[in-house]
Structures are given as structure tokens and as C-alpha cells.
Amino acid sequence: MNIRQYKNTYPKLGSKVYVDPGATIIGDVVLGDDVSVWPGVVIRGDVNHIHIGARTNIQDGSVLHVTSPYPGKPNGIPLIIDDDVTVGHGVILHACTIGNCSLIGMGAIILDGAVIDKHVFVGAGAMVTPDKKLESGGLYVGAPARRVRDLSEKEIEELHESAAHYVKLKNDYL
């Protein structure tokens, strides 16, 4: 595993975490219990902190970073991902907040200050612009991302199932 300090701050890993040997985690990063981080992922908590909640999975080739302090944002912007989130392949998450049981589709980009509520599906290739808020229970697609419809109860259940599937998969790897 490529887990490195930045300025004497080491990543903290919860119990039963899987970090693929091809992933890189640097600095002020906290991974909750049962998190999985897949090949080619970079999680860089150097100029601010990153928190990834329990049972969340960060899939192959995703990049996670933060914003340093600047005028108007004296504390910068951390990256906060709640529990049971699925982050698809090749996603960029930059200094944003992702709510419980959401799914971020492959190749999506979520930018500084954006807030994704719980039970949101961000479609593949979507771009969520800075400071945008995506309301709970919706499917968002496009660039810029826009809500196209409400999620069904079955689709919301599938968000939970996605996170549970990745917990089982990472256990196989462990």
C-alpha cells in the first residue's frame, strides 16, 4: 500500500479497510470502517482534510482532493464523504460534500463547495459546478448537472445494495 505522511500527518484507517496496492493515500485522510479503495485511486489530503465514511467504496482511477485556504474561504474546503457511498470509476471529487447512500457515476466531476444530499444518483460523466446543491432523491445528469427525475424506492434501495456489494467484494480481497 502506498500510504504516506504529509507534514507529519498520516492517514488513519478504520477496521477492515481495503486499500489496493496500486492506490495512493496521502496526509490528513480518515477512512471509516469497511471502506474500499481500488487500483489507481489517489486521495490527497495535503492542504486540507478528507473524511470518508464507513462502507464507502472509491473505485479505480478516481482522484480525491481538497482546497487550501484562500480569500473568502479562510479555512479552505475539505472533502467529506458520508457512509455507504459508491464512487464510480474515474471520478474526480474536489473539496465537496457527498451525503449518505449516494452514487457518483463513472467519470463524474464534482467541484469545490458542491453539496450532494443523501440518496442522490449523479450520472456517468456529469459535472457538478462549484457550490451547487443536489437535493435528496434525484437523478442528476449532464454538464452542468441537472435533476432529470426522482429516484424510485427501488433505485434508492439499490444505492444501499451497491455499497453492501462493495463491502463483500473488498472482504474477498482481504
- Which candidate, 66, 24, 72, 71, places its Cα nearest to that of 48? 66
d(CA 39, CA 37) in angstroms, rounded, equals 7
pLDDT in tens, 17-71: 999 999 999 999 999 999 999 999 999 999 999 999 999 999 999 999 999 999 9
CATH annotation of 2-173: 2.160.10.10
pLDDT digits (tens, 9 = 90+) for 160-174: 999 999 999 999 999
Q: Quick one: pLDDT at residue 1? A: 65
Q: What's this model's pTM, rounded to 2 decimal places? A: 0.97
Q: Read off the pLDDT of each residue in 116-121 and give the average, rounded to a whole number.
A: 98
Q: With H, G, I as helix, E, B as strand and everything else as coil, classify residue 61.
A: coil
Predicted confidence (pLDDT) per residue in 33-46, tens digit: 999 999 999 999 99
Q: What is the mean pLDDT of residues 95-124?
A: 98
Judged against a pLDDT cut of 90, whether residue 123 lies above it is answered with yes
CA dihedral sign of residues 81, 164, 125, 3: positive
List Cβ neighbours of 149 (8 Å cut-off, separation of 6 or more): 138, 139
Q: What is the CA radius of gyration of the chain?
A: 15
